[in-house]
Chain A
Amino acid sequence: MSRPELVAPPEIYYGDTEAKKYTKNTRNQQIQADMTYRALELLSLPPDEPAFLLDIGCGSGLSGEILDEEGYMWAGVDVAPSMLEVALEREVEGDLFLQDIGQGFGFRPGSFDGAISISVLQWLLNAETSHATSSPPHRLTRFFTTLHSALKNPSRAVFQFYPSSDDQITLISTIAQRAGFTGGLVIDYPNSNKAKKVFLCLMVGGGGHVPKGLDGDGDAAEDSTTARFERRRERERARSRGGKRKSIKDRDWILKKKELYRKRGKESVPNDSKFTGRRRKAIF
């Protein structure tokens, strides 16, 4: 899997060309849309109540478009100016901010009814300078504490991200807990490399439990309850149990074999008799 966050910081990686490319790619659009719907589902906002959401790392507004469709009001922050420019061109409804989430938010307490973030957190895990405020733990702490206060109580924040190791998951969740969040990881399709998606589901004010991840294989091509060669093994067992196959070493088989050897000119082939192929007595 390619890891753009290891190439350059986001505001540089997503320059003009990359921002356009990313937004135009229909596969990206599809994946982002699916994950946004899933994140909204995990957010489990009360139905029929208009909500004001924060889209963290909104980029070119691929997820924001879905929020518009679903009828939510939202504000989005992103650190890449080129991405925001594309978002302006696409005329999304939300308010956009050029902001580095690692520097924290300035929103007043209780501003938002929820927050979603699609494929963003992994960008916070690389230090860009040696300055103390640039270390990943410091940035994550600042991010989670200011986010915690910007959310109303009770509410939720759902982050989809691509961790590259278990250490990263531990780092992120411990810092989030220290900032006052409860909740945990939701992993969809854990057995599939391709369809696996990691969601960090954080809650303000406790209450409620972490939802369960989706099972199955994502593309539903295989049934994950049976192993790969199970069916063939099953078939073979059925055949042997059915008793259709005879014991091969009966009298006819022996006579046929002996005939064959004689024809080939093999020496010392025993003569046929009435005892050929007969079972010995048990007392032998």
Chain B
Amino acid sequence: MVRLMTHNLLACHAKGCTTNNFPLALKDVQIELRESDFNPDFLKGFLPKLDWPALVLAARQLGDETLPLQQPEMLDDEFLKNLHHVLLEIHIEEGSMTCPNCAHVYPISNGIPNMLLAEHEIG
């Protein structure tokens, strides 16, 4: 159930981990494709929130090469369709996310990432 939309918003929240804690690196992932309704207005509203390089990196890691490396200025229909597919239809079912800074591993099982921290990691 983790979609790249939320993966793109997620940074590490362990104690003292405040810089270089994004994006969480995906590892050993199994993905599932599930269709959902295309909503161009939502995508346009969501674009400013996205970290584009991180999104392209994650998408290529999952084998989707449809997004350009540079965020395009023009929003044509084809681009929005690709973006929709990458953001909302790729679900990560199993695997893990690793913080690039403190190397904390957040396991994903059954589509739900486990974001719980141990006592000494709580900020």
CB under 8 Å from chain B, chain A span 137-189? 142, 146, 152
Contact B115 A133 (CB under 8 A): no
Tell me the interface secondary structure of chain B in the complex: loop
Inter-chain contact A142/B123, CB cutoff 8 Å: yes
CA A106 to CA B7, docked complex, whole Å: 11
Evaluate contact between A99 and B11: CB separation under 8 angstroms. Answer: no
Kindly list chain B residues whose C-beta atoms are within 8 Å of the C-beta of A50.
39, 41-42, 45
- Looking at B1, B3, B117, the one whose CB has the most chain A CB atoms below 10 A away is B1
Of the candidate stretches A90-98, A205-213, A221-229, A248-256, the one touching chain B is A90-98
The answer to whether A122 has its CB under 8 Å from any CB of chain B is no
Least distance between A237 CB and chain B CB atoms (Å): 63
Contact yes or no, B116 A95, CB < 8 A: no
Looking at the complex, which one of A94, A97, A110 makes contact with B115 (CB distance below 8 Å)? Answer: A97
- Distance in Å: Cβ of B89 to nearest Cβ of chain A: 12
B12 lies within 8 A of A95 (CB): no
Tell me the nearest residue of chain A to B51, going by C-beta. Answer: A108
Whether a CB of chain A sits under 8 angstroms from the CB of B33 is: no
Do the beta carbons of A103 and B6 come within 8 Å of each other?
Answer: no
Q: How far is B112's CA from A131's CA once the two chains are assembled, in angstroms?
A: 27
Known contacts A73-B42, A110-B49, A142-B122; decide if A99 and B9 are in contact (CB<8 Å).
no
Which of A52, A96, A99, A105 touches B116 (beta carbons < 8 Å)? Answer: A99
Q: Compute how far the CA of A94 lies from the CA of B1 in the bound complex, rounded to whole angstroms.
A: 8
Contact status B10-A108, CB under 8 Å: yes
B13 within 8 A of partner (CB): yes
Closest 6 CB pairs of A and B: A106-B13, A50-B42, A99-B115, A111-B9, A133-B122, A95-B6
Chain A positions within 8 Å of B, measured between CB atoms, are 49-52, 73, 75, 77, 79, 81, 84-85, 88, 93-100, 103-108, 110-111, 129, 131, 133-134, 142, 146, 152
A75-B6, A81-B112, A110-B49 known; 11 new pairs, CB 8 Å cut-off, are: A49-B41, A88-B112, A98-B115, A98-B116, A105-B13, A106-B21, A107-B11, A129-B119, A131-B119, A133-B119, A142-B123
